[in-house]
Structure 1
Amino acid sequence: MSAPTTQVVADEDFAYIRDQVREFVREAVVPREAEIAETDAIPDDLRRQAAEMGLFGYALPQEYGGLGLVITQDVELAFELGYTALSFRSLFGTNNGIAGQVLVGYGTDEQRKQWLEPMAEGRCIASFALTEPEAGSDPSGMRATATWTDGADGGWVIDGQKRYITNAPLSDLLVTFAKVRGTGESDGRIAVFLVPTTAPGVIVGPKDRKMGQEGATSSEVTFDGVRVGADALVSGEIDTGFRAAMSVLARGRVHISALAMGLAQRALDESVAYSVVNRQGGVPTGERQLVQAMLAEQASLVMAGKACAREAAARYLDGSDRRVGPSAAKLFCTEAAGKVADLAVQVHGGAGYMREMPVERLYRDVRLLRLYEGTSEIQKLIVGRELVKQAGA
């Protein structure tokens, strides 16, 4: 199994990509946020345009049709994607992130050839099927099983239930984690499998109804005696599963940190714009010192959060920190974005509580970022545990 060829996108080429995405987000997606919220779906034409721009594979290797952006460039792009409805980014986020990176980092050559190109082109949407009713940020409680069977019909039989699986109702491929059985000494270990949603026994539940992020789809997925061949085992090795999950989640946390700051920047911009035009007692509220203080706090958090995400990305890329940095960044940036969104509602006053105001949606959308890909509490445990471990080394 050979690693994908690494081709780094030059700074000037990436600047063009970033600028194109910024223009598309602000001129094509932002004006349709109300439509996305009302229909609870991403319009087909926006999906097609995203695919044409390469957004379904911006972080996938160029040799498989992706743009090949590295994590530091991913962060800069996430700042732009976070500026609009987070459900738009969610449409192609798993292809580039936690699902796609399992294949990039651990898939066999045959697995990459089969799946990465259609993923990069937007012809295939992949989901990351890890979370269960009793196993969320900590996968040790996982109950889904993959049982090895010999004979003419040999292979793996997968049973279990997954919950809150992003893009499952739209998905073509489920990157599925399960504890193996029937293997002898490897029983109980977590492995990862590539399961097409068309496989008999895969049951995708109805779309979840959520607090926010309208347009982003998630649902439960049930595996009822789903049979897949030996070639469905990622890397061909059972022990890859847990390692792959921890690795891609760490990378994903850096991305989510930047995404949170993109949303925070939007909340700040909305707050400043509103404070200039909204008048109380004949005076723009932006001239009131207490409002200015809230704007200053928002701006400080945005600046700090962006710097934090950029540093975490740089250290992840050079390999100096792929444990503490991603968790610390996700903890700080998602909590900070929540504070910025809360202040945005406050700056708007009663208007900020109205559904027609962008900050009302931002306030609901941002809340999820402190939950998925590891809750804030899990990030605290990771950071604290690693710091103590390093001090004792």
Structure 2
Amino acid sequence: MEGLPEEERAIVELVREFVDTSVKPVAHDLEQANTYPEALIDAMKEMGVFGLAVPEPWGEASVSASCYVLVTEELARGWMSLAGAMGGHTVVAKLILDHGTAEQKDTYLPRLATGELRATMALTEPGGGSDLQAMRTTARQVGDHYVVNGSKTWITNARRAGLVALLCKTDPRAEPAHRGISILLVEKGEGFEVSRDLPKLGYKGVESCELSFDDMRVPVGALLGEKEGAGFGQMMRGLEIGRLQVAARALGVGRAALEDSLRYAQERESFGVPIWKHQSIGNYLADMATQLLAARQLTLAAARRYDAGERADMEAGMAKLFASETAMKIALDAVRIHGGYGYSTEFDVERYFRDAPLMIVGEGTNEIQRTVIARQLVKRGSVAP
């Protein structure tokens, strides 16, 4: 936590203590039962976790992106699903803070800060994947309303969120396509259906859903900001903090896997010695720790650039790419270190191995991250500091 002001260090320490005392003792059973963690979410609200992106006068504890990364890492270290429960929420809060009208800020930010109102973002469509400009969800203005039609998928917290930042086309004929894309701040109502919860390998407890919009009427005042066609750029900036958050989730999963492996390697003996003393196991631990620290430093470097107000899509993409691939490798190595126990649902390492892939495919697949990175490399011509 070097470089954080004292107030932000205290926030990270508070969340760390919460994870150790309240999350870790119950996460295994909640995850196995796929139970929504109501009590833990309420505790996160009490701690102000849902308001970390909301400054005064609407909130109390707006923090730096670096602090946000470390808070997310701590939550994911306890149970990655908890970090997912506040990820999209924070992106929506930042979208409203950076681009919303005065009325939108006053209406939504105070309730988002306390967690009284939960928010999510709806980008991905069935069959669309990472090609956001090819979306088919439309919002046609009719008088003082938009009429919304279309569908979205893989929307986290969709059942419990009261506000959805919906990416849609307000001008389907626009060229290039991104100039016709807007964000609507949608509250649930007639014509909006959460159709089903999607079954998942990991990421249990919180729901990931399909949404459908059938002639849903939304007031024109729900348009984020002052003009149509700005939504794609707004969301791309929002996804910078979103990808930092996914990178931080990966750090938490990787750290949990490493910490469990380090403890197990000191307790478990074979051939008369703790197994960490065997070179193969010791090498695993050394590589896991080195890779995790490198991933954290890369993520924090991207967070500092974001805090400086500079464009950080390449750096956030690098952090998300490297941290997620690192978490996947560490989780697999943790299974190797635990041997047969690593394959047992009695040990948490099998959960880390199931949770880690989400960060590889979520918030823009790693294949897309490489495309973003390559384009920015060509544009900038250097990665010099």
TM-score under structure 2 length normalisation: 0.94
The residue that corresponds to 1:83 in the other structure is 77
The worse-fitting range, judged by mean Cα deviation, of 36-45 and 168-177 is 36-45
The residue that corresponds to 1:99 in the other structure is 92
Residue 147 of structure 1 aligns to a residue whose secondary structure is: strand
Give how far 1:184 is off: 8.9
* Residues 182 and 267 of structure 1, relative CA distance in 2, 3 Å threshold: closer
Give how far 1:185 is off: 9.2
Q: Does the aligned pair in 2 maintain the 1:180–1:186 contact within 8 Å?
A: no
Q: Does the aligned pair in 2 maintain the 1:157–1:225 contact within 8 Å?
A: yes
| Residues 201-350 of structure 1 mapped to structure 2, 5 A cutoff | 201-350=191-340
Partners of 1:304 and 1:181 lie apart in 2 by: 43
Give how far 1:182 is off: 8.9
Q: Residue 105 of structure 2 aligns to which amino acid in structure 1?
A: R
Question: Is 2:136 aligned against 1:146?
Answer: no
Partners of 1:279 and 1:387 lie apart in 2 by: 48
Give how far 1:41 is off: 2.6
* Residues 183 and 276 of structure 1, relative CA distance in 2, 3 Å threshold: closer
Question: Which of the numbers 10, 16, 22 marks the counterpart of 2:10?
Answer: 16
* Residues 186 and 213 of structure 1, relative CA distance in 2, 3 Å threshold: closer
Residue 78 of structure 2 aligns to a residue whose secondary structure is: coil
Partners of 1:70 and 1:83 lie apart in 2 by: 20
| Residues 180-199 of structure 1 mapped to structure 2, 5 A cutoff | 180-181=170-171, 189-197=180-188, 199=189
Question: Which of the numbers 71, 74, 81 marks the counterpart of 2:68?
Answer: 74
| Residues 7-46 of structure 1 mapped to structure 2, 5 A cutoff | 11-46=5-40
Give how far 1:280 is off: 2.3
Residue 53 of structure 2 aligns to a residue whose secondary structure is: coil
Q: Residue 310 of structure 1 aligns to which amino acid in structure 2?
A: L
The residue that corresponds to 1:6 in the other structure is none
Partners of 1:261 and 1:141 lie apart in 2 by: 32
Q: Residue 11 of structure 2 aligns to which amino acid in structure 1?
A: I
Give how far 1:390 is off: 2.0
- Write out per-residue CA displacement over residues 119-164 of structure 1, whole angstroms, 9 at most, x where no aligned residue: 11111111101110132222011000000113xxx31000000000
Partners of 1:166 and 1:189 lie apart in 2 by: 25
Partners of 1:328 and 1:43 lie apart in 2 by: 31
Residue 170 of structure 2 aligns to a residue whose secondary structure is: strand
Give how far 1:183 is off: 9.7
Q: Does the aligned pair in 1 maintain the 2:318–2:373 contact within 8 Å?
A: yes
The worse-fitting range, judged by mean Cα deviation, of 311-320 and 165-174 is 311-320
The residue that corresponds to 1:4 in the other structure is none
Q: Does the aligned pair in 1 maintain the 2:194–2:209 contact within 8 Å?
A: yes
The residue that corresponds to 1:113 in the other structure is 106
Partners of 1:320 and 1:206 lie apart in 2 by: 39
The residue that corresponds to 2:126 in the other structure is 133
Question: Is 2:41 aligned against 1:60?
Answer: no
Q: Residue 54 of structure 1 aligns to which amino acid in structure 2?
A: G
Q: How many residues align?
A: 379
Q: Does the aligned pair in 2 maintain the 1:83–1:266 contact within 8 Å?
A: yes
Residue 206 of structure 1 aligns to a residue whose secondary structure is: strand
Q: Does the aligned pair in 2 maintain the 1:186–1:238 contact within 8 Å?
A: no
Partners of 1:328 and 1:93 lie apart in 2 by: 18
TM-score under structure 1 length normalisation: 0.92
The residue that corresponds to 1:381 in the other structure is 371
The worse-fitting range, judged by mean Cα deviation, of 170-179 and 184-193 is 184-193
Partners of 1:234 and 1:31 lie apart in 2 by: 41
Give how far 1:338 is off: 0.8
Q: Determine what percentage of the aligned residue pairs are the same residue.
A: 34
Runs of 4+ in 1 over 3 A off after TM superposition: 181-188
Q: Does the aligned pair in 2 maintain the 1:155–1:230 contact within 8 Å?
A: yes
Q: Does the aligned pair in 2 maintain the 1:230–1:236 contact within 8 Å?
A: no
* Residues 88 and 34 of structure 1, relative CA distance in 2, 3 Å threshold: same
Q: Residue 142 of structure 1 aligns to which amino acid in structure 2?
A: M
| Residues 353-364 of structure 1 mapped to structure 2, 5 A cutoff | 353-364=343-354
Residue 225 of structure 2 aligns to a residue whose secondary structure is: helix
Unaligned runs of 5+ in 2: none
- Write out per-residue CA displacement over residues 143-201 of structure 1, whole angstroms, 9 at most, x where no aligned residue: 00000113xxx31000000000011011111111111149999997001101112x110
- Write out per-residue CA displacement over residues 196-243 of structure 1, whole angstroms, 9 at most, x where no aligned residue: 12x110000222110001112110000000001110111031122111
Give how far 1:70 is off: 1.7
Q: Does the aligned pair in 2 maintain the 1:106–1:240 contact within 8 Å?
A: no
Partners of 2:74 and 2:216 lie apart in 1 by: 39
Partners of 2:174 and 2:351 lie apart in 1 by: 51
Question: Over the residues paired in the alignment, what is the CA RMSD in angstroms?
Answer: 2.0
Question: Is 2:189 aligned against 1:174?
Answer: no
Question: Which of the numbers 150, 168, 172 marks the counterpart of 1:160?
Answer: 150
The residue that corresponds to 1:51 in the other structure is 45
* Residues 289 and 109 of structure 1, relative CA distance in 2, 3 Å threshold: same
- Write out per-residue CA displacement over residues 239-278 of structure 1, whole angstroms, 9 at most, x where no aligned residue: 2211111001112112221221122111111001111111
